[in-house]
Structure 1
């Protein structure tokens, strides 16, 4: 069997492992338009702040590809897919034949749509090359001030990396709070307060309307919607990412926001699969199909897709939205639905230790936890995640759920086995 994987991110590498679970001998070719073997995107901010070196970003060991019998093609971009011929066309004109194909091309950053966007000194922050180019530009131009447009996770990590280099940062967010897609208002305010303590200026309900350059064509300042002028020598665009679908448009592969797949990650074409940030799957809670561009989902999807490509039969349970990230030295984790709409049977349980900067929140529906949010203390987050995945009723646990002592000991005996730990060990 001849397997071809387009994309070498978390979904692509996990797919290699999934294939090898079911097929030890098939030929695997991995195609990547990047020039590095593999790296962890969540660590890019630490590279920017010089806390980590490039060789510390890998999420698989050096011998991963050799050990798994993978032919790795770097700096090769897929530009066309010929379904009838079962082949991928690369930018250099080469055609790569396949028996089974995995599309794991991830997402691409949404460009800033603003006057003056062609001025030198504007960067994205989603790839290693972009982070390296940014770091080089900061050094070569003795950058003192930066503007980050977008207050999501990418924007926050870019901000953190810039602050770590001693650069003055202004963060501009269109919504009424930062991290609005991930956190509720209280959690967002805690992180915003921490940013401000580190010297970051934050403009909410605002955006950049114009970029002005100096005589050499480099960024000099931005003008905000409220007419405030912010001097800067660098701009980071972090307003979001969209699935990388351009090269498969016009084919028989069905797509919406992302490539549509079934429970086995198979597309509308029998021998073509998709995984990661480029695909759209059913929601974990049974809702409409959606794109969930997060690392854990990409890994899980890649594993399932790879296994099924090799003839296995696994179902992907749907993405459970989960983000675990440290921001300004504060550990945070959000799982599931953390900011539910009013009504619809949702209830919340909250605990705030303001002096310690610790905030905990659980969202329940029908006596089951459907969301968990922790800021400042993420102890036992895995237990709550297990409760969400198991859809376990928690009526007997309510009095203990947010206590610091909460743990497996509070569970009914029949649930201590298999449930949550999944290890089949009674505790």
Structure 2
């Protein structure tokens, strides 16, 4: 019986542990210094907002681990001896392994700003970050958030839920416009303003100012503006958490380099999840993908290989989802900020500026390449099938109702979308569904 050690108890590491157990009786140990048990990292914001308690974020009961013979060790690893196949902890005792899976996740980015280590300045990734944010925001009057990404907008919603005024600084012209096309980015700008968020575009941080007690009191922008605050959220993205391996034989770049089987350069050592960097990423996929489902799929894949069925990582069509306060977002396939030269874009937006859809398709073949959907829930499996099979834009627009899974009695906008498409592309005219009663009222 071999000993399989998994370093990290996030979605990637825990999925690997569960699937290794499904395929065999090897000894499994999961190590993490963050928490005793696996929890849903995406639910951290809801703990702060009072919608959930920590115990509600644990997908499995505490007895699950004993029943499935998965040993849990709460500890921080200080070093790894890859030749001796041993890990060493902050308490100095060693643990040996036969196979090692590294799933150490991400860390919040810092870019060396003066004052970034003051009290009240932090990122948001770990449970410890959440506990620190709880402490840092007690009784404050104003907060500043830096960085126009998904963690930033989540932090803005968290603070907003406690009626803490927020000034949100982004370098770009529009929110997340390094990922979103102009129409969608502008729509989110409007929505953030409606929520009372003071979004300041094209604004860069110069320094964070502290008081005599070492706590943040203001930020200064490169234009010279000084914004008083008692909390600064640094949400300028995350990077692979690989500090432990920088001076080791393990090959690293931005992340831990792995092949298509998630194997590192060291035999019997694998890396999965946010910390892994594919040497040869698949077309339309990134070398590092710090998203929940990619970690889950990597966990399933590496479990197959470790238990005897050598399996390459095949994530399929890219997808992502998020939430901007009240607006839910789904993305399938490739929708870059600028439409590629060989493609055409179709865009529809509802009158309330809280719903839209953008579809990118090949100008010559008409095959759909990707879609952004805001405020309308669509089925993942339907879009995955359409994009992977190269369905034409005409087929997709005509069959849009098949993808919808909004709750019963919701307004269905497919008819309005189809009419807009026919007006924009008369040569590709599609059949149009009947307009619903609510659609007639709201359109």
Deviation at 1:405, TM superposition (A): 5.8
Matches within 5 A, 1:250-265: 250-265=247-262
- State the alpha-carbon separation in 2 of the partners of residues 283 and 370 from structure 1: 21
Does the alignment pair 1:54 with 2:51? no
- Inter-CA distance 33–370: structure 2 relative to 1 (3 Å threshold): farther
Deviation at 1:348, TM superposition (A): 2.0
Does the alignment pair 1:271 with 2:268? yes
- State the alpha-carbon separation in 1 of the partners of residues 202 and 318 from structure 2: 25
How many residue pairs match? The answer is 402
Relative to structure 2, which stretch is displaced further, 249-258 or 305-314? 249-258
Match of 2:152 in 1: 155
Matches within 5 A, 1:63-102: 63-74=63-74, 76-102=75-101
- State the alpha-carbon separation in 2 of the partners of residues 72 and 281 from structure 1: 28
Match of 1:424 in 2: none
The structure, 1 or 2, with the larger RCO (C-alpha pairs under 8 Å, 6+ apart) is 1
Deviation at 1:336, TM superposition (A): 2.8
- State the alpha-carbon separation in 2 of the partners of residues 344 and 60 from structure 1: 48
Matches within 5 A, 1:22-421: 22-23=23-24, 25-74=25-74, 76-139=75-138, 142-281=139-278, 285-286=282-283, 290-318=287-315, 320-339=317-336, 341-355=338-352, 357-365=354-362, 366-388=365-387, 390-394=388-392, 397-400=395-398, 403-404=400-401
- Inter-CA distance 59–338: structure 2 relative to 1 (3 Å threshold): farther
- Inter-CA distance 360–159: structure 2 relative to 1 (3 Å threshold): same
Match of 1:10 in 2: 11
Contact between 2:154 and 2:324, CA under 8 Å: does it hold in 1? yes
Match of 2:412 in 1: none
- State the alpha-carbon separation in 1 of the partners of residues 184 and 339 from structure 2: 18
Deviation at 1:69, TM superposition (A): 0.7
- State the alpha-carbon separation in 1 of the partners of residues 258 and 86 from structure 2: 20
Q: Secondary structure at the match of 1:29?
A: strand
Contact between 2:347 and 2:357, CA under 8 Å: does it hold in 1? yes
Structure 2: 5+ residue stretches without partners: 406-443
Deviation at 1:96, TM superposition (A): 1.4
Contact between 2:36 and 2:73, CA under 8 Å: does it hold in 1? no
Relative to structure 2, which stretch is displaced further, 5-14 or 114-123? 114-123
- Inter-CA distance 65–377: structure 2 relative to 1 (3 Å threshold): same
- State the alpha-carbon separation in 1 of the partners of residues 40 and 170 from structure 2: 26
- State the alpha-carbon separation in 2 of the partners of residues 154 and 318 from structure 1: 23
Q: Secondary structure at the match of 2:137?
A: helix
Structure 1: 5+ residue stretches without partners: 409-427
- State the alpha-carbon separation in 2 of the partners of residues 47 and 192 from structure 1: 26
Deviation at 1:288, TM superposition (A): 7.7
Deviation at 1:173, TM superposition (A): 1.1
Deviation at 1:209, TM superposition (A): 0.9
Contact between 2:369 and 2:390, CA under 8 Å: does it hold in 1? no
TM-score, normalisation: structure 2: 0.85
Q: Secondary structure at the match of 2:39?
A: coil
Contact between 1:121 and 1:235, CA under 8 Å: does it hold in 2? yes
